[in-house]
Amino acid sequence: MLQFYSPPSASSSIHPFRSLVFLSSLLSALHLSLSIPNKPHFGSNFVFIGDAKFTNNSSCIRLTDPRISSPSSGLIVLKKPIRLLSPNSKSRKPVSFSTDFTFSISPHNGDGLAFLVLPRNFQSKFSGESFGVLKESRFLGVEFDTLIDENVGDVNANHVGLDVGSLVSVKTSNVSSIGLVLNSGVKLHSWVDYDSSSKRIEVRLSKFGSPRPYNPLMVHQVDLGEMWRNEEVIVGLSSSTGNSMQTSSVYTWNFRTRDVPQWLHSQPLDPQAFSREHSEEKLAQKRKICALGFISGLVFLTGCGALLALVVLFLWALFENSSETVLTIPGKCTVHSGDFRYEKINVVVRDSPTDAKN
């Protein structure tokens, strides 16, 4: 199972190597995190649709601008399409994704902002209202809604809703219940995570600068692998003003996908054969551990020590770097702490399937 997380050449199921493999994967994660401060907040990876454009010296993206057109609507999508079923194996693996973005919505009652998963050819169907999806029947949306529209069953003018192919949300959550107001003009940070093994989508929201909340604001079960099959989709952030003067801005956006190892979600065809196979596997594993005995334990402990030292170094470098960023880019949105937190979470995510197998 380690092969999934390490280059094929490093594949080994022998215990002492496990910590080494993990160390090397941590190192590559480290490299990723620490190189982020040198990158711009937004690369050239976006397509701007409608009224969306860079503002404030390219530090932010304004999705709507009612002073230019009314109603105003704008969408940014990642250039690179993704698939929610990985195409590179015979038994197609469902793909999980994690995204987080920081945004603000001005104090008017417009439609707010939405994270969207759309068919690849969506662009030509983009319209000026309701997040631009009125002409599209196939989409997934997480809306941050600041308007009560009774036609679509909205609960209040401050809610998060999950839309599957329709603006009538399949699930909504009251943002007032966590003490936040979407259209206060204050910067907010949201995390949307889809886990393909449990088929759950989770939405979290906090004030910008606060840590990622432990409890999601909204959880819903939806099978995106089933919904999109092997089709290419694009992901985007969209906003529309309705009849209001609302402006919505986006300051940072991270998006990443990951495959899930087959064993995490596959259903055994013959449960008895599966458990037989499993107990044999366990027995073999036990023998192996006994044989390696003391030495493997020692090596493993040494690995743990090195790991701890690395984590301390990592955290130190992190704080060094983030304060440096704040100092060297004055006048820009200071947004890197969010990026770092995201990367740290990833280190944990990479680790857990290995643990689960033990």
Which residues contribute to the site for ligand NAG (CB under 6 A)?
A: 56-57, 60, 155-156, 174, 176-177, 249, 331, 333
CB of 172 to ligand NAG, least distance (A): 9
User: Is 307 exposed, middle or buried, given 0-12, 13-18 or 19+ CB atoms closer than 10 A?
Assistant: middle
- Closer residue to ligand NAG (CB): 205 or 224: 205
Kindly list the distances between the CA atom of residue 9 and the CA atoms of 27, 114, 156, 303, 353, in Å, as whole numbers in the listed order: 17, 42, 55, 20, 20
Angle, helices 271-328 vs 15-35, to 10°: value is 30
Q: How far is the CB of 330 from ligand NAG (least distance, A)?
A: 8
To ligand NAG, the closest distance from the beta carbon of 235 in angstroms equals 23
Which of 311, 329 has the CB closer to ligand NAG? 329
Using CA atoms, how far residue 357 sits from 124, 216, 245, 311, 351, in Å, is: 46, 26, 53, 23, 11
Give the residue with the Cβ less far from ligand NAG, 12 or 334: 334
Cα-based angle 73, 74, 77 (whole degrees, multiple of 5): 150
**From the CB of 331, what's the least distance to ligand NAG, in Å?**
3
- Which C-beta is closer to ligand NAG: that of 245 or that of 347? 245
* Shorter beta-carbon distance to ligand NAG: residue 66 or 225: 66
Minimum CB separation of residue 335 from ligand NAG in Å reads 10
Nearer to ligand NAG among residue 83 and residue 220 (C-beta): 220
Minimal distance in Å, beta carbon 129 to ligand NAG?
24
DSSP code per residue over 160-218: EEEEESSSS-SEEEEGGGGT--TTSS--EEEEEEEETTTTEEEEEEEETTSPPPSS-SE
Task: With CA atoms as reference, report the closest residue to 248 among 97, 96, 81, 73.
Answer: 73
